């Protein structure tokens, strides 16, 4: 029986671990925290899982909250050229509903489920210099530990890493008591809302499920030095909520009343940080002739502006599972690791490029957004890139293709 170790108990690591257990593999997950500690800790992310990623969870029997989590029907986008004055907007549906589940409850339950299904869990931190000893014990060792210290063992791939510093400063809070936005007649649920203000950044609102029930996640994507960049003191949940209301009063007054009665879901419902989008080489040598393979945002990390992180993790787990099963009893050597990552990269390269594009959108993208506000077809296709980034290079990643497409739909 093949013995596999996975360092990290997040979306990618646990989804892969549970998939391997279902196929009879002997799997060990090394988690720095217990399920109880994960539940009691700070929120982990601002995840939105689009239809294709949810389908992977559904196929694996991991969609444990599908009936409780709000169905996110689509995307509302509003752009303000001047503070508080909307210049353009559109509302459109996704192809298949999205959902967001607080990863504290999700990862904690998946970790318990993994043990219930015969998986082995070691509760400890693994330092970078401890990977060699771990890899020596197993046929394959994967690192799914996110953007922490272990990511540094994988060297930066300059070809696909255009930024050397964060392009946004991030702050988020989970809230109860947000008044629902008015829905289009054809919407089957609430929509994710993206409010963009020139020079300030983005305010993104995502319906979600947390431990105390349905909620809304409010994410500030602040342009460094702009008016949204005001989180250096890392305020508590109540203070973050109050400061958010003041920002909305000035920059999105049409949203202010919806949030006037909002309260944090719990004291741990805040998250701060900044991310430098980075792609790393996926294989690291941790001992003479001994290698480990990186997963998901350990080796491909995107700013959350396009909501690709949790989706990339789910697709990485599914792709690596197929590669492992197809490999049979052959050794998991470096060429196999490179090939396994290459299969995942076929999707991840598009989501990475699209996320980077939205951080610094060129002028032709502004024309596409304007067209989306006038043509439902363009709006729907743009929302579709969030769901499935394979379509991005066909039109939105290239100014000539964008121009040709807009001309075809009658928008110069």
Asked if the structure places residue 158 within a domain, the reply is: yes
Q: What is the mean pLDDT of residues 130-146?
A: 96
Determine the pLDDT at residue 186: 81
pLDDT confidence band for 188 (50 / 70 / 90):
confident
User: Token pair of 43, please?
Assistant: 């929120």
Determine the pLDDT at residue 411: 62
Q: Rounded distance, CA 384 to CA 311, Å?
A: 14
For residue 277, CA distances in Å to 280, 299, 350 come to 10, 10, 13
What's the gap between Cα 31 and its chain centre?
Answer: 20
What's the gap between Cα 168 and its chain centre?
Answer: 15
CB atoms within 10 A of CB 41: 12
- How many CA atoms does the CB half-sphere of 279 hold within 13 Å? 19
- How many CA atoms does the CB half-sphere of 8 hold within 13 Å? 27
Asked if the structure places residue 173 within a domain, the reply is: yes
28 and 41 inside one domain: yes
- For the cut 80, the answer to whether the pLDDT of residue 148 exceeds it is yes
Asked if the structure places residue 50 within a domain, the reply is: no
Q: In this predicted model, what pLDDT tens digit does every residue of 335-369 receive, in sequence order? A: 999 999 999 999 999 999 999 999 999 999 999 99
10 and 124 inside one domain: yes
User: Token pair of 233, please?
Assistant: 């003191």
374 and 295 inside one domain: no
Q: Which of 251, 274, 297 is the last residue of a domain?
A: 274
User: Token pair of 327, please?
Assistant: 């490999």
Of the candidates 359, 367, 337, which has an alpha carbon nearest to the alpha carbon of residue 345?
337
Q: Rounded distance, CA 227 to CA 188, Å?
A: 35
CB atoms within 10 A of CB 223: 18
Determine the pLDDT at residue 275: 96
Asked if the structure places residue 57 within a domain, the reply is: no
pLDDT confidence band for 34 (50 / 70 / 90):
very high
Q: In this predicted model, what pLDDT tens digit does every residue of 211-227 receive, in sequence order? A: 999 999 999 999 999 99
Number of structural domains the chain divides into = 3
Q: Rounded distance, CA 136 to CA 359, Å?
A: 41
Which domain, by its residues, includes 268? Answer: 72-100+167-274
Q: Rounded distance, CA 375 to CA 404, Å?
A: 15
Three-class secondary structure assignment of the chain:
CCEEEEECCCHHHHHHHHHHHHCCCEEEEEECCCHHHHHHCCCCCCCCECHHHHHHHHHCCCCCCCCCCCCEEEEEEEEEEECCEEEEEEEEEEEEEEECECHHHHHHHHHHHHHHCCCEEEECCCCHHHHHHHHHHCCEEEECCCCCHHHHHCCECHHHCCCCCCCCEEEEEEEECCCCCCCCCCCCCCCEEEEEECCCEEEEEEEEEECCEEEEEEEEEECCCCCCCCCCCCCCHHHHHHHHHHHHHHHCHHHHHHHCCCEECCCCCEEEEECCCEEECCEEEEECCEEEEECHHHCEECCHHHCCHHHHHHHHHHHHHHHHHHHCCCCCCHHHHHHHHHHHHHHHHHHHHHHHHHHCCCHHHHHHHHHHHHCHHHHHHHHHHHHCHHHHHHCCCCHHHHHHHHHHCCCC
Q: In this predicted model, what pLDDT tens digit does every residue of 94-119 receive, in sequence order? A: 999 999 999 999 999 999 999 999 99
Determine the pLDDT at residue 182: 86
Asked if the structure places residue 137 within a domain, the reply is: yes
Q: Which residue has the tokens 């992310």?
A: 45
Q: How many residues does the chain have?
A: 412
239 and 371 inside one domain: no
- Torsion 80-84-90-92 (CA) sign: positive
CATH code of residue 314: 3.50.50.60
User: Token pair of 90, please?
Assistant: 């559109």
37 and 185 inside one domain: no
Query: Which residues does 296 contact at the CB level (< 8 Å), separation at least 6?
Result: 10, 11, 12, 144, 312, 313, 316, 317
CATH code of residue 264: 3.30.9.40
Asked if the structure places residue 157 within a domain, the reply is: yes
152 and 173 inside one domain: no
291 and 368 inside one domain: no
244 and 95 inside one domain: yes
pLDDT confidence band for 183 (50 / 70 / 90):
confident
262 and 281 inside one domain: no
- For the cut 90, the answer to whether the pLDDT of residue 306 exceeds it is yes
Asked if the structure places residue 53 within a domain, the reply is: no
Worst-scoring range by mean pLDDT, 4-13, 184-193, 244-253, 295-304?
184-193
- For the cut 70, the answer to whether the pLDDT of residue 412 exceeds it is no
Q: Rounded distance, CA 15 to CA 11, Å?
A: 6
Query: Which residues does 136 contact at the CB level (< 8 Å), separation at least 6?
Result: 287, 290
Q: In this predicted model, what pLDDT tens digit does every residue of 390-401 receive, in sequence order? A: 999 999 999 999
Asked if the structure places residue 78 within a domain, the reply is: yes
106 and 173 inside one domain: no
Sort 194 into a burial class: Cβ within 10 Å, 0-12 / 13-18 / 19+. buried
180 and 269 inside one domain: yes
182 and 250 inside one domain: yes
Determine the pLDDT at residue 130: 96
pLDDT confidence band for 257 (50 / 70 / 90):
very high
Determine the pLDDT at residue 260: 95
Q: In this predicted model, what pLDDT tens digit does every residue of 38-77 receive, in sequence order? A: 999 999 999 999 999 999 999 999 999 999 999 999 999 9
Cβ pair 52, 308 in contact under 8 A: no
Determine the pLDDT at residue 36: 98
- Torsion 43-164-158-131 (CA) sign: negative
Q: What is the mean pLDDT of residues 300-312?
A: 97
Q: What is the mean pLDDT of residues 318-339?
A: 97
């Amino acid at each position: 029986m093949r013995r596999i170790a996975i360092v990290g108990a997040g979306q990618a690591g646990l989804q892969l671990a549970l998939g391997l257990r279902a196929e009879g593999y002997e799997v060990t997950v090394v988690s720095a925290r217990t399920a109880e500690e994960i539940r009691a800790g700070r929120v982990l992310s601002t995840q939105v899982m689009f239809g294709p990623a949810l389908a992977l969870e559904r196929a694996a029997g991991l969609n444990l909250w599908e009936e409780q989590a709000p169905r996110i029907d689509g995307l509302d986008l509003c752009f303000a050229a001047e503070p508080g004055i909307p210049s353009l907007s559109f509302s459109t549906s996704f192809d298949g509903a999205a959902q967001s589940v607080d990863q504290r409850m999700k990862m904690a339950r998946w970790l318990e489920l993994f043990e219930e299904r015969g998986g082995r869990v070691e509760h400890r931190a693994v330092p970078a210099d401890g990977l060699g000893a771990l890899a020596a014990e197993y046929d394959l060792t994967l690192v799914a530990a996110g953007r922490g210290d272990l990511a540094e063992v994988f060297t930066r791939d300059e070809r696909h890493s255009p930024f050397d510093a964060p392009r946004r400063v991030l702050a988020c809070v989970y809230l109860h008591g947000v008044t629902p936005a008015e829905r289009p007649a054809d919407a089957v649920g609430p929509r994710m809302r993206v409010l963009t203000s020139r020079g300030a950044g983005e305010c993104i609102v995502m319906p979600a499920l947390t431990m105390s029930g349905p909620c809304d996640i409010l994410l500030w994507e602040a342009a460094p030095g702009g008016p949204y960049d005001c989180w250096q003191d890392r305020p508590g949940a109540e203070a973050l909520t109050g400061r958010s209301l003041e920002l909305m009063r000035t920059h999105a007054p049409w949203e202010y009343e919806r949030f006037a009665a909002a309260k944090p879901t719990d004291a741990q419902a805040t998250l701060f940080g900044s991310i430098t989008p980075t792609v790393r080489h996926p294989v690291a040598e941790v001992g003479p002739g001994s290698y480990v393979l990186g997963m998901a945002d350990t080796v491909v990390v995107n700013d959350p502006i396009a909501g690709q992180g949790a989706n990339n993790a789910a697709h990485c787990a599914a792709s690596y599972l197929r590669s492992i099963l197809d490999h049979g009893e052959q050794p998991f050597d470096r060429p196999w690791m490179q090939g396994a990552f290459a299969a995942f990269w076929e999707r991840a390269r598009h989501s990475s490029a699209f996320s980077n594009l939205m951080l610094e959108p060129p002028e032709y993208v502004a024309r596409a957004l304007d067209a989306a506000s006038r043509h439902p077809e363009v709006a729907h296709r743009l929302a579709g890139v969030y769901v499935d980034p394979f379509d991005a290079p066909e039109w939105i990643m290239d100014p000539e293709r964008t121009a040709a497409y807009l001309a075809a739909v009658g928008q110069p």
